[in-house]
């Protein structure tokens, strides 16, 4: 099975954050910071754990820049999938 | 001699309990003797137990971003705190800086979250918890979340001394204001420990009441010949305390004044109460309030309806109040609200506050035949509606031997929130 591309990963992330935290998809842009949409570091960690479960992969690289954006999170997932 | 900079006024009350979701509902239940005790059942237990339940799922009151951190204990604590602050008509803790504090008591905190995690670990073989679990289960989760929500930046203190937990918190908050360290404090406690594992812990002690066959609402019978044990309840209660100067500056209405706090340890046995320690706490509170025993008009007892505990407290009352004991009205309102554990002192101080304010003597419901070992001037079955109460005291005694006595007194001021009974009838 081919790996999802960057757009598919971001769309999945948007959908997941909407379902999980009732966040408005309109505000979930690549440029939006985690802080601006109300996600703290522990919630992001929990999202990552769910991504691991859903995709059946282990995310070894969990490094995000300071004041990370949703685009950074999508890129992190892409990076890990490429390595797996 | 202690430096006393201020009277300490009660300017707001918030309550979520089996007998009321507001201070008005609490008063109605006390006046109407409405029991909040019903059967509580779990598939994991062999039989149902009587318990004081609120019976409402509050999770819809919080966003999905908040909920991962919120055990039910924190949910009800936050809502009761919101209510107390709103009742006090106060906004703006942030402007108080370190002059506002929060003093909180609980026995089990986020015990449901913790036990659910243990179940996942042991049965599901899950080896890593969700990131929030440790914060949702910790004892000081609720006060932390309340301080964040309301920007309370002074001392945020959690105390756990079993069934006197919130009593210590109220007392220490009272002292901090009276002695000039704070202008205001939110004080109280919360408990939401109706989980099979926690109930089974109490079952191991053989201290839980049997359900009353005729009416489960009558299962808790303090001081009664046929009492069979305590009834565990859930609930959260907070009081807003303010210095008189602070309350005057914002023309705050007030329910009453905390006038005395006594704390004493039994230093006797971890699970058995002792008359000497309880009497010492009561004497300390009277001394703190500069009151004679004869000046107390109502005593709200800790009395949990256990065979061993009630006579010990009755002896402490007789020892402390001496000849006044024949005139001192005593009741245990646990008969209708059960034992709120970490919030027990707080609800019982709220009861005393209403007794002082509205001028009535709450009853020990269902008390028909008094155990001779518990002989006192009991307010049996029905409240006394025309009681004049200037000073009321409440005692709480916790496992481990920490005893707390608090005294609430009438606030003689034109801003008094409720008229006295005499004023009502005039």
pLDDT digits (tens, 9 = 90+) for B52-107: 999 999 999 999 999 999 999 999 999 999 999 999 999 889 999 999 999 999 99
Q: Which residue has the tokens 């307010």?
A: B379
Confirm or reject contact between B127 and chain A (CB < 8 A): no
Residue B2 confidence (pLDDT) above 60: no
Residue A37 confidence (pLDDT) above 50: yes
Q: Is there a contact between B65 and A42 if contact means CB atoms under 8 Å apart?
A: no
Q: Please give the residue of chain A at the shortest CA–CA distance from B134.
A: A42
Cross-chain CB nearest to A22 (options B64, B68, B130): B64
Confidence of residue A62 (pLDDT cuts 50, 70, 90): confident
- Cα(B13)–Cα(B360) distance, integer angstroms: 18
Q: What is the pLDDT of residue B3?
A: 53
Which residues in chain B touch residue A39, judged by CB atoms under 8 angstroms apart?
Answer: 65
Distance from CA of A50 to the nearest CA of B (A): 10
**Average per-residue pLDDT in chain B?**
94
Q: What is the pLDDT of residue A1?
A: 54
| Higher per-residue pLDDT: B274 or A4 | B274
Confidence of residue A49 (pLDDT cuts 50, 70, 90): confident
Q: What is the pLDDT of residue B79?
A: 98
Q: Is there a contact between B131 and A38 if contact means CB atoms under 8 Å apart?
A: no
A:B CB pairs within 8 Å: 26
Q: Per residue in B272-299, pLDDT tens?
A: 999 999 999 999 999 999 999 999 999 9
Q: Is there a contact between B131 and A39 if contact means CB atoms under 8 Å apart?
A: no
Q: Is there a contact between A46 and B131 if contact means CB atoms under 8 Å apart?
A: yes
Q: Which residues contact B4 (CB under 8 A, 6 or more apart)?
A: B178, B179
What value does the mean pLDDT take over residues A3-29?
A: 91
Confidence of residue B416 (pLDDT cuts 50, 70, 90): very low
**Touching B: A residues 65-84, CB under 8 Å:** none
Q: What is the pLDDT of residue B417?
A: 43
Q: Which residues contact B193 (CB under 8 A, 6 or more apart)?
A: B73, B107, B108, B111, B112, B199, B232, B234, B341
Helical packing angle, B344-358 and B165-178, nearest 10°? 60
- Cα(A63)–Cα(A73) distance, integer angstroms: 9
Q: What is the pLDDT of residue B425?
A: 39
Q: Please give the residue of chain B at the shortest CA–CA distance from A39.
A: B65
Strand-strand pairing, B402-409 and B391-397: antiparallel
Q: Is there a contact between A42 and B135 if contact means CB atoms under 8 Å apart?
A: yes
Sign for the pseudo-dihedral over CA of B272, B276, B281, B282: positive
Residue B418 confidence (pLDDT) above 50: no
Helices vs. strands in chain B: H and E counts, helices first? 13, 14
Which residues in chain A touch residue B70, judged by CB atoms under 8 angstroms apart?
Answer: none
What value does the mean pLDDT take over residues B19-23?
A: 98
Residue B29 confidence (pLDDT) above 60: yes
Q: Per residue in B203-218, pLDDT tens?
A: 999 999 999 999 999 9
Confirm or reject contact between A34 and chain B (CB < 8 A): no
The SS3 of residue B39 is strand
Mutate: best of B60, B65, B128, partner A, most A CBs <10 A = B65
The SS3 of residue A63 is coil
Confirm or reject contact between A22 and chain B (CB < 8 A): yes
Tokens of B422: 């005499």
Mutate: best of A43, A51, A58, partner B, most B CBs <10 A = A43
> pLDDT above 90 covers what percent of chain B?
92
Q: Is there a contact between A46 and B128 if contact means CB atoms under 8 Å apart?
A: no
Confirm or reject contact between B126 and chain A (CB < 8 A): no
Confirm or reject contact between B68 and chain A (CB < 8 A): yes
Confirm or reject contact between B130 and chain A (CB < 8 A): yes
Tokens of B425: 């009838």
| Higher per-residue pLDDT: B3 or B420 | B3
Strand order of the β-sheet with B37-40 is: B37-40, B49-52, B232-233
Which residues in chain B touch residue A45, judged by CB atoms under 8 angstroms apart?
Answer: 131
Q: Per residue in B321-380, pLDDT tens?
A: 999 999 999 999 999 999 999 999 999 999 999 999 999 999 999 999 999 999 999 999
Confirm or reject contact between B125 and chain A (CB < 8 A): no
C-alpha angle B57-B197-B130 in degrees, rounded to nearest 5? 65
Distance from CA of A6 to the nearest CA of B (A): 26
Give the active site residues of B. 163, 302, 339
Q: What is the pLDDT of residue A6?
A: 84
Distance from CA of B129 to the nearest CA of A (A): 10
Confidence of residue A57 (pLDDT cuts 50, 70, 90): confident
pTM of the model: 0.93
Least confident of A52-56, B209-213, B306-310: A52-56
Confirm or reject contact between B2 and chain A (CB < 8 A): no
Residue length of chain A: 84
Determine whether B145 is exposed, middle or buried from the number of CB atoms within 10 Å of its CB (0-12, 13-18, 19+). buried
Mutate: best of A16, A21, A28, partner B, most B CBs <10 A = A21
Q: Per residue in B264-275, pLDDT tens?
A: 999 999 999 999
């Amino acid at each position: 099975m081919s790996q999802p591309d960057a757009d598919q990963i971001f769309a999945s992330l948007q959908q997941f954050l909407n379902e999980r935290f009732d966040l408005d998809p309109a505000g979930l842009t690549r440029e939006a910071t985690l802080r601006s949409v109300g996600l703290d570091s522990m919630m992001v960690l929990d999202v990552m754990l769910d991504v691991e479960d859903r995709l059946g992969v282990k995310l070894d690289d969990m490094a995000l820049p300071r004041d990370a954006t949703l685009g950074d999170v999508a890129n992190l997932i892409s990076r890990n999938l490429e390595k797996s | 001699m202690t430096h006393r900079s201020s009277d300490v006024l009660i300017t707001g009350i918030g309550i979520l309990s089996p007998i009321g979701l507001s201070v008005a509902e609490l008063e109605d239940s006390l006046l109407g003797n409405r029991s909040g005790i019903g059967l509580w059942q779990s598939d994991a237990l062999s039989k149902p137990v009587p318990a004081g339940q609120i019976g409402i799922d509050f999770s819809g009151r919080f966003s999905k971003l908040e909920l991962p951190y919120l055990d039910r204990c924190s949910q009800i604590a936050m809502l009761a705190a919101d209510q107390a602050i709103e009742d006090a008509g106060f906004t703006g803790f942030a402007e108080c800086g370190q002059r506002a504090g929060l003093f909180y008591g609980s026995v089990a905190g986020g015990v449901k979250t913790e036990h659910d995690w243990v179940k996942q670990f042991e049965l599901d073989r899950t080896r890593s918890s969700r990131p929030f679990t440790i914060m949702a289960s910790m004892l000081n989760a609720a006060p932390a979340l309340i301080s964040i929500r309301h920007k309370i930046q002074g001392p945020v203190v959690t105390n756990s001394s079993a069934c006197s937990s919130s009593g210590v918190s109220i007392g220490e908050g009272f002292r901090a204001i009276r002695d000039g360290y704070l202008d205001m404090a939110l004080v109280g406690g919360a408990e939401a420990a109706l989980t099979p594992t926690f109930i089974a812990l109490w079952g191991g002690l053989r201290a839980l009441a049997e359900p009353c066959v005729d009416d489960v609402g009558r299962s808790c019978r303090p001081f009664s010949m046929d009492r069979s044990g305590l009834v565990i309840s859930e609930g959260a209660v907070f009081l807003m305390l303010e210095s008189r100067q602070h309350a005057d500056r914002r023309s705050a209405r007030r329910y009453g004044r905390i006038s005395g706090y006594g704390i004493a340890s039994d230093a006797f046995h971890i699970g058995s109460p002792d008359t000497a320690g309880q009497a010492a706490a009561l004497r300390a509170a009277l001394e703190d309030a500069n009151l004679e025993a004869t000046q107390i008009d109502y005593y709200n007892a800790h009395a949990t309806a256990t065979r061993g505990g009630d006579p010990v407290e009755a002896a402490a009352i007789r020892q402390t109040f001496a000849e006044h004991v024949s005139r001192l009205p005593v009741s245990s309102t646990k008969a209708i609200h059960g034992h709120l554990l970490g919030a027990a002192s707080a609800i019982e101080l709220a009861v005393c506050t209403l007794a002082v304010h509205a001028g009535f003597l709450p009853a020990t419901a269902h008390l028909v035949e008094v155990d001779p070992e518990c002989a006192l001037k009991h307010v049996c079955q029905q409240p006394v509606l025309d009681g004049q109460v200037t000073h009321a005291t409440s005692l709480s005694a916790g496992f481990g031997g920490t005893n707390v006595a608090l005294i609430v007194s009438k606030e003689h001021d034109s801003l008094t929130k409720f008229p006295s009974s005499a004023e009502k009838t005039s």
